[in-house]
Amino acid sequence: MHNESVQALAGALAQGTVSSVELTELFLARIAAEKDLNAFISVDPEVSLAQARAADRIRAAGRATPLTGIPIAHKDIFVTREFRSTAGSRMLENYRSPFDATVVEKLGLGPQGAGMVTLGKANCDEFAMGSSNENSFFGPVKNPWDRRAISGGTSGGSAALVAARLAPAATGTDTGGSIRQPAAMCGVTGIKPTYGRVSRWGMIAFASSLDQAGVLARSAADCALVLNFMAGFDPRDSTSIERVAEDYSRELALPLAGLRIGLPKEYYGEGVSPDVASAVEAALREYEKAGAKLVDIELPRTELSIPAYYVIAPAEASSNLSRFDGVRYGHRTAEYGDLLEMYERTRAEGFGWEVKRRILVGAYVLSHGYYDAYYLKAQRIRRLIAEDFQTAFRDCDVIATPVAPSVAWDIGEKVDDPVANYLADIFTLSVSLAGLPGLSLPCGFGRQGRPVGLQLIGNYFGEARLLGAAHQFQQASDWHMRAPTDLHGA
């Protein structure tokens, strides 16, 4: 059953051929057997099985949704009452939230929830800062396709556990590519919706104007099913968009004939490794065979996305993380002489190097004399990048690019070169800066048998079209069906 899709598991639960308790026990056993992947930070079998029993009672009472009783893992950036919420940081190592994030509520067992069962909290880069999931206080996540390799960041735990069949789906967050990049590197499907589609309430903030929740699963169809329950307006989130509820699976059966796929020349030149380029080109040929039309487009300010992002995101991070001072919650240093020393020692001990680096950069670009030169200029560039996309969408319906310039690299390979890590996000950052929806789907394998992902980018609120285009490709290929073989009980 662990190899079944969310849709198949929903059918089995509806038919009574399996119970939620049985499914939960199965996945908990797999999680225990694959501990060395380090995909989870927190697991509590008693809590998960209690939720599964409750889900079975809801189903027996005839009040089930299609997702009731299906296990899921949550990235440990969403706060939860029944599991600790660490954000991958020593600062929150033992933090317990008094409430659940909206995403957790919507998918959970409450009166308005989908009825899913939480298996645990997925490992992630500290405060969602990184491109490799090596920045977690709890250690790096290993890629189930090759345990020498990174899983991608920052939702690397979510991507790895879905790839390893430790859960059929997982939540993630994407600030600059943190759903799409790990999904590509672990060979699963992941979608970042339009900014504001999914509530950020209860998501531990990194960069508030960029952070967006999404979902990772094996297929586009599974992502659509989960997104149907995740998305929606939330009055508690000031950035939440109020729109009529949608069925994100409504275009799954739509044929590809006539679909215009834009190919930006800036994404297909130097810098893309040959193995990635080959896999992406093969995927595009499949789209052509199915009737889609490939259109050349330009996104001329793509190269500016890295400097713009690494001014805006650290600036917002330095502001958001100022709340972690040892006074109200989280880590507090054991020894200090006065209040200032308590602040300094607490933050020095509680934050890792990557978080400190971004706080320092952010404080600098927001400081007097540099705000106009850096922060405001980056925001102007951000607007120009968004305008480039709108110009491009006059000539195409979706845009297709590689997700990353290379497949996953080895753990530790770039740890001393943060700029090299940042450059790995070149193809995903502009989508986040513009607030557009983006999706990664498996399209092949590169060097050392490591997965390659194809990125599909849509216009605002175009998630259903993206999911449909991805689903049609997955109907004609089996990349998303393949699983790592180096697993216990594979």
Show the beta-strand stretches assigned E in 224-367. Answer: 260-264, 293-297
The encoded tokens of residue 167 equal 């859960």
Q: Domains plus CATH for the chain?
A: 6-258 (3.90.1300.10)
Cα–chain-centroid distance for residue 317?
18
Q: Please, is 17 exposed, middle or buried when counting C-beta atoms within 10 Å of its C-beta (0-12, 13-18, 19+)?
A: exposed
Question: What are the pLDDT tens digits along the chain (490 aa)?
Answer: 999 999 999 999 999 999 999 999 999 999 999 999 999 999 999 999 999 999 999 999 999 999 999 999 999 999 999 999 999 999 999 999 999 999 999 999 999 999 999 999 999 999 999 999 999 999 999 999 999 999 999 999 999 999 999 999 999 999 999 999 999 999 999 999 999 999 999 999 999 999 999 999 999 999 999 999 999 999 999 999 999 999 999 999 999 999 999 999 999 988 899 999 999 999 999 999 999 999 999 999 999 999 999 999 999 999 999 999 999 989 999 999 999 999 999 999 999 999 999 999 999 999 988 999 999 999 999 999 999 999 999 999 999 999 999 999 999 999 888 888 888 999 999 999 999 999 999 999 999 999 999 999 999 999 999 999 999 999 999 999 999 988 876 6
Residue 168: which residues within 8 A CB-CB, separation 6 or more?
Answer: 4, 5, 6, 9, 70, 71, 72, 162, 217, 218, 222
Closest CA relative to residue 452, chosen from 231, 149, 199: 149
pTM over 0.95: yes
pLDDT of residue 489: 61
Q: Please, is 95 exposed, middle or buried when counting C-beta atoms within 10 Å of its C-beta (0-12, 13-18, 19+)?
A: middle
Distance in angstroms (rounded) separating the CA atoms of residues 266 and 402: 11
Between β-strands 189-192 and 438-445, what pairing exists: parallel, antiparallel or unpaired?
A: antiparallel
Helix ranges restricted to H, 290-352:
305-320, 339-350
CA dihedral 67, 73, 75, 79 (to 10 degrees): 80
pLDDT of residue 95: 96
CA dihedral 203, 208, 209, 212 (to 10 degrees): -20
